[in-house]
Homo-oligomer: A and B are copies of this chain.
Amino acid sequence: MTYTQMSREELLAEKAELEAKYDIYKSKGLKLDMSRGKPGAEQLDISRPMLDVLTSESDLTTDEGVDCRNYGVLDGIPAVKKMFADILEVDPSEVFVGGNSSLNLMFDVISCFMTKGIAGCEPWIKQEGIKFLCPVPGYDRHFGITEYYGIEMINVPMDENGPDMDMVEKLVSEDEKIKGIWCVPKYANPSGITYSDEVVRRFAALKPAAKDFRIMWDNAYVIHDAAPVGDKLLSLMDECKKNGTQDMVMMFTSTSKITFPGAGVSAFACSEANMKVLKARYNFQTIGFDKINQLRHLRYLKDSKGLIEYMQKHRAVIEPKFDVVLNALESSVKATGAATWQKPKGGYFISVDVTEGTAKEVVQLCKEAGVVLTGAGATYPYKKDPKDSNIRIAPTYPSVDELAQAIEIFCVCTKLAAVKKLLG
């Protein structure tokens, strides 16, 4: 019986039972954290051997004879470009290798379009009232970049196949002020779903009113499975090339959640025309990114095959954590109807839609019982979840034991908030 089917008496009894449980948790003085999309210590240890790959005895030159210690090579070591190209399913010439942060590359790209424009159009900063589409729930740091630059953000609902493409197609074809859309196409942050083939094809077939419309395709979890058989994402670049729309796409990824979050290697991929504009910027921005760290990654991971095999080590750590959360939600919450969620096969998050109007309450209840969650609303532009319903759970950072305890408390708080809401 779901909560909505219960009588007032039944709800009051449920409330009393939940409050009793909640008070016990609260009295324990716990300190648990499901807020951060960070690898846990066990995952960080996986990549310790990478620190032994380069020593004072190492040959520090690339196959092409470039000394990685010195200046030069703006767009990355060729073999590293190839590795990222294979993962992103593009040509190596379409890849630019950056520093330790793909977020920084995205910021650079938006900054470039803001100040110099793209596709021969006026710089975005000189075009008044420009807008971005933001599939929701989404990644707060994407929304942060567009908010920093004063770009108006428009929510686009997501379902299990990706963004609402009817809405996307209509908006971008009608409004030339819409300059882009933020996407995490595989294991979306936070819903965990992967865009369907149809959604990818519809993205590739978009006919935007704005010639300078760009899809910001953040493939952060491109090979980050948390299940024996992961999702398969259709190649957007391939589909775009069939339609001649490849200038519409900017792709990003990194090894932040493969090797070290603070010391990985990032990359973007794009068409020749976009690359020309971006290299014209980077040519003034820097002499080149850290090639020694690129070489360290290359010698350690070898190539894209090596990368994909390596991810099995992470899966071994992450999969049980996803299971703990999903099993608890299934056994404790599902029957009550107090929340809904997807079952991601990878990525870093589980996105829970609690009873409308209770997300802030659930986060607050958890906090008081010692469980830190990402703030309610964080997954929406301007931190405003219109339904006050979405909560992002990040299961990777705590240990399995901590996680088991934290999710138990989360379930109780979710149910308690739902019951209180129904009782009015």
Q: Which residues of A contact B (CB under 8 A)?
A: 36, 38-39, 41, 44, 47-52, 54-56, 58, 67-73, 99-101, 103-104, 107, 111, 114-115, 123, 125, 141, 144-145, 147-149, 256, 260-263, 281, 283-293
Q: Which residue of B lies closest to A257 (CB)?
A: B71
A263-B293, A284-B148 in contact; A56/B48 too (CB < 8 A)?
A: yes
Give min CB distance, A378 to chain B, whole Å: 14
Please name the residue on chain B nearest to A143 by beta carbon. Answer: B284
Q: A44-B67, A141-B284, A144-B283 are in contact. List 8 more A-B contacts (CB 8 A).
A: A69-B261, A70-B260, A72-B262, A115-B115, A141-B287, A145-B284, A263-B293, A290-B293
Are the C-beta atoms of B104 and A285 separated by less than 8 Å?
yes
Question: Once the chains are docked, how many angstroms separate the CA of A290 from the CA of B293?
Answer: 10
Contact, CB under 8 Å: A107 / B261: no
How many copies altogether?
A: 2
Indicate if the CB atoms of B115 and A111 lie closer than 8 Å: yes
For the complex, give the distance between the alpha carbons of A107 and B280 in Å. 13
Evaluate contact between B149 and A260: CB separation under 8 angstroms: no
Is the beta-carbon distance between A70 and B107 smaller than 8 angstroms? no
The answer to whether B69 and A286 have CB atoms under 8 Å apart is: no
CB–CB A262/B68 < 8 A: yes
Are A290 and B287 in touch, CB under 8 angstroms? no
Question: By the criterion CB–CB under 8 Å, are A262 and B284 in contact?
Answer: no
Q: Can you list 8 A-B contacts (CB < 8 A)?
A: A71-B256, A100-B289, A107-B285, A125-B125, A144-B283, A260-B292, A261-B287, A262-B287
Q: How far is the CB of A245 from chain B (nearest CB, A)?
A: 29
Residues on B with C-beta less than 8 A from A55 are 51-52
The answer to whether B51 and A54 have CB atoms under 8 Å apart is yes
Q: Which residues of B contact A283 (CB under 8 A)?
A: 144
Residue of B nearest to A103 (CB): B286
Q: State the CA gap A49–B281 with chains docked (Å).
A: 35
Residues of B within 8 A of A47 (CB): 69
Chain B nearest Cβ from A31, distance in angstroms:
15
Task: Name the residue of chain B whose CB is nearest to the CB of A283.
Answer: B144
Q: Quick one: closest B residue to A125, CB to CB?
A: B125
- Chain B residues, Cβ within 8 Å of A284: 107, 141, 144-145, 147-148
Does the CB pair B291–A262 fall under 8 Å? yes
Hey, which chain B residues are within 8 Å of A36, CB to CB? Answer: 71
Partner of A71, one of B49, B104, B261, B285: B261
